[in-house]
């Protein structure tokens, strides 16, 4: 077991999802105390329990990242319970409705932008405020190869939100690098998560639909996404700031 994050406290939003859970397990396996944040207490508790069963340190806090009050409390609770905040993975996100823009319900547009973009802004706002006063830290934001690097018809709101996350991450990196805070983003492509399935699809159906579009010929494994997050959060990437790391098997190449 390596200990790149021994003594570190890591906050992960959208904490009950597949990528979040896998990333949390990876951080915990390398010595971090992981705090999972999200809206579903049962799923958060289950994710934390699995990490603890493997010998890791994990906690959870309910929070809606679209709420300034919840976002502030999420960070404050993490610090109060565990003594600090050294890294954050702002991962909370939704896909929204699949529809051409002219047919898209404005409420769906607003929901996607609220979670995917405003949620990242609010999470960073309070994470940065703590890190700025306590020696710095590392933040990784969840963008996407859709929006930040390519487009897909029917996902205009999602693409817009993720392109904005990429830009926001770079803006924050420029503003806070001098304070020892490194902000980066990741842009995964299709990965083995619930979001990649269409209604009624089996895994074989999903893979047959998506794999031909990916030069490496398969969807990504959440563990591969987690490895990138850990690298961007650790000292090995100390000279990396304002970067959006594409992890999509060559799909945007």
Q: How would you write the pLDDT of the chain (253 residues) with one tens digit per residue? A: 568 999 999 999 999 999 999 999 999 999 999 999 999 999 999 999 999 999 999 999 999 999 999 999 999 999 999 999 999 999 999 999 999 999 999 999 999 999 999 999 999 999 999 999 999 999 999 999 998 898 888 899 999 999 999 999 999 999 999 999 999 999 999 998 888 888 899 999 999 999 999 999 999 999 999 999 999 999 999 999 999 999 999 999 9
Instruction: Show Cβ contacts of residue 125 under 8 Å, excluding neighbours closer than 6 positions.
Output: 68, 71
Count CB-CB contacts under 10 A for residue 232. Answer: 24
User: Catalytic residue among 126, 158, 176, 197, which?
Assistant: 158
The predicted pLDDT at position 2 comes to: 65
Q: What angle do CA 56, 59, 60 make, to 5 degrees?
A: 140
The structural domains of the chain, ordered by start, are 9-247 (3.40.50.720)
Q: What tokens appear for 23 in the block? A: 């990333």
The Cα–Cα gap between 175 and 190 comes to 31
* Dist. CA 226–CA 215, nearest whole Å: 21
Q: How many helices (H) and strands (E) does the chain have?
A: 9, 7
* Cα atoms in the Cβ-side hemisphere of radius 13 Å centred on 195: 20
State how far the Cα of 90 lies from the Cα of 134, in Å rounded to an integer.
Answer: 19
126 flagged as catalytic: no
């Amino acid at each position: 077991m390596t200990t790149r994050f021994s003594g570190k406290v890591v906050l992960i939003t959208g904490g009950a999802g597949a990528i979040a859970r896998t990333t949390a397990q990876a951080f915990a396996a390398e010595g971090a105390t992981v705090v999972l944040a999200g809206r579903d207490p049962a799923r958060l508790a289950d994710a934390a329990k699995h990490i603890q069963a493997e010998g890791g340190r994990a906690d959870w806090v309910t929070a809606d990242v679209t709420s300034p009050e919840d976002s502030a409390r999420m960070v404050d609770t993490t610090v109060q319970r565990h003594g600090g905040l050294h890294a954050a993975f702002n991962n909370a996100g939704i896909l929204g409705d699949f529809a051409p823009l002219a047919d898209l319900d404005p409420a769906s547009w607003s929901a996607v932008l609220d979670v995917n973009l405003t949620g990242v802004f609010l999470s960073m706002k309070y994470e940065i405020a703590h890190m700025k006063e306590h020696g710095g830290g590392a933040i990784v934001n969840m963008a996407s190869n859709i929006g930040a690097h390519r487009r897909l018809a029917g996902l205009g709101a999602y693409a817009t939100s993720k392109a904005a996350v990429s830009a926001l991450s770079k803006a924050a990196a420029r503003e806070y690098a001098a304070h020892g805070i490194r902000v980066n983003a990741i842009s995964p492509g299709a990965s083995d998560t619930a979001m990649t399935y269409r209604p009624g699809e089996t895994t074989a159906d999903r893979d047959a639909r998506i794999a031909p579009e990916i030069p490496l010929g398969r969807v990504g494994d959440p563990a591969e996404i987690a490895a990138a997050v850990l690298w961007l959060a650790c000292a090995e990437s100390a000279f990396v700031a304002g970067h959006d790391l594409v992890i999509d098997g060559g799909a945007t190449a």
